[in-house]
């Protein structure tokens, strides 16, 4: 085995501690955490003291990206910092793995893509839902032609009550880019569009609502992210719905909520093909089709995926070692175009052409 790849993590909060650091511990034969950074420097120090004793600790991310020991930077900060840190890191000659969403505006997503092209360094944004075994098996079946043309779909992530970090950066538009559409939508839109074969979006319409800003009930185990601030801002939606049209004629509905009066939280992708349909719910998938005039419901069998983040990070390490990437920055640009257009459509009441 060759030399270990060396990573510096920027942001030592919820997802960093809850998913990335654990993945690096599991992947320690291939990758070493050599640097940690957080503006609340005690968080980086705690991670060093408890998990990565030889890592350097920084308060300013610029010091981390200029650390000669770092091969790639893993960005786990609030959304508005993704593009700023990614572009700086790429320009400093580092590869970049970045948490979702790619960026909070189209111009920023384009800047990230350009910096990756110009530096020749790898840029990958986390797409953990692609790494469920069922997602990979469904993708194989679609590529095998089992579904025929996929012409329509629905996807989303809807919570009954689960607003993350109320009053903090998650609910502050300038720092998050928006509410559940950008926070959760990015996950399920990505899975749906990837399974559909990455058609190019051509128009978007949508609407957003905010009805639960004063509600403190929480039933979602998935929403315990971000620091709260009782006197903070809440200027984002708690429900968003929209429709995307693609260049191949297909359409996709999107629905995301942090809070809405539904039975229970679930995330889903449902695709309709000429020959078969797919339902993917919370990582479990089924295929529906007809055979000899009989309706068949077939479970998608796959090996369990206890840690999709680990699989995503492991794939990024493969890419650094020369493998073809599952994700390319253009998919991030298209994603942010869709989400920003949905917010624009919600404001104007009109469909937005991309």
Residues within the interface to ligand NAD (CB under 6 A): 10-16, 37-40, 43, 61, 76-79, 81, 99-100, 126, 128, 183, 225-227
CA distance 224 to 164: 6
Least Å distance between CB 350 and ligand NAD? 28
Least Å distance between CB 13 and ligand NAD? 2
Least Å distance between CB 258 and ligand NAD? 13
Contacts of 40 (CB under 8 A, 6+ apart): 12
Buried b (16+ CB within 10 A) or exposed e, 92-120: bebbbbbbbbbbbebebbbbbbebbeebe
Least Å distance between CB 185 and ligand NAD? 11
Beta-carbon-side half-sphere exposure of residue 67 (alpha carbons within 13 Å): 26
Least Å distance between CB 294 and ligand NAD? 39
Total Cβ atoms within 10 A of residue 303:
10
Give yes or no for a contact between 90 and 121, defined as CB atoms under 8 angstroms apart.
Answer: yes
Least Å distance between CB 127 and ligand NAD? 8
Residue 100 or 337: which CB sits closer to ligand NAD? 100
Residue 38 or 265: which CB sits closer to ligand NAD? 38
Residue 245 or 267: which CB sits closer to ligand NAD? 267
Residue 79 or 331: which CB sits closer to ligand NAD? 79
Strands (E), 173-327: 201-209, 239-246, 251-257, 266-273, 276-281, 284-291, 294-299
H-state helical runs in the chain: 14-15, 21-26, 41-50, 61-65, 82-91, 106-119, 133-143, 173-176, 180-183, 185-195, 308-320, 329-348
Least Å distance between CB 58 and ligand NAD? 8
Residue 286 or 311: which CB sits closer to ligand NAD? 311
Q: Would you give the distance in Å from CA 305 to the centre of its chain? A: 17
Residue 154 or 187: which CB sits closer to ligand NAD? 187
Residue 11 or 180: which CB sits closer to ligand NAD? 11
């Amino acid at each position: 085995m060759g030399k270990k790849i060396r990573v510096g993590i920027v942001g030592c909060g919820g997802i960093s501690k809850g998913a990335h650091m654990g993945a690096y511990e599991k992947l320690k034969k291939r990758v070493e955490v050599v640097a940690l950074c957080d503006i609340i420097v005690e968080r980086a120090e705690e991670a060093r003291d408890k998990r990565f004793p030889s890592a350097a600790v920084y308060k300013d991310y610029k010091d981390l990206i200029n650390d000669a020991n770092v091969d790639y930077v893993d960005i786990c900060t609030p959304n508005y910092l993704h593009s700023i840190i990614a572009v700086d890191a790429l320009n400093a000659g580092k590869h970049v793995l970045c948490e979702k969403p790619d960026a909070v505006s189209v111009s920023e997503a384009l800047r990230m893509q350009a910096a990756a092209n110009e530096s020749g360094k790898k840029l990958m944004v986390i797409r953990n839902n692609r790494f469920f075994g069922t997602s990979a098996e469904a993708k194989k079946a679609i590529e095998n032609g089992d579904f025929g043309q996929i012409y329509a779909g629905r996807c989303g992530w809807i919570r009954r009550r689960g607003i993350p970090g109320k009053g903090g950066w998650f609910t502050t538009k300038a720092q998050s880019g928006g509410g559940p559409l950008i926070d959760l939508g990015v996950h399920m839109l990505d899975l749906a569009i990837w399974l559909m074969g990455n058609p190019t979006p051509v128009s978007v319409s949508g609407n957003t609502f905010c009805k639960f800003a004063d509600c403190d009930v929480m039933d979602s185990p998935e929403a315990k992210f971000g620091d709260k601030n009782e006197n903070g801002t809440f200027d984002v939606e708690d429900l968003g719905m929209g429709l995307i049209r693609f260049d191949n004629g297909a359409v996709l509905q999107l629905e995301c909520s942090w809070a809405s009066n539904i039975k229970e939280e679930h995330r889903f992708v449902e695709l309709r093909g000429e020959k078969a349909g797919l339902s993917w719910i919370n990582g479990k998938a089924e295929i529906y089709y007809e055979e000899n005039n009989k309706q068949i419901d077939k479970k998608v069998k796959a090996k369990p995926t206890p840690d999709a983040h680990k699989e995503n990070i492991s794939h990024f390490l493969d890419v650094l070692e020369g493998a073809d990437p599952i994700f390319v920055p253009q998919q991030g640009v298209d994603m942010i175009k869709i989400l920003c257009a949905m917010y624009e459509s919600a404001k104007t009441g009109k469909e937005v052409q991309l």
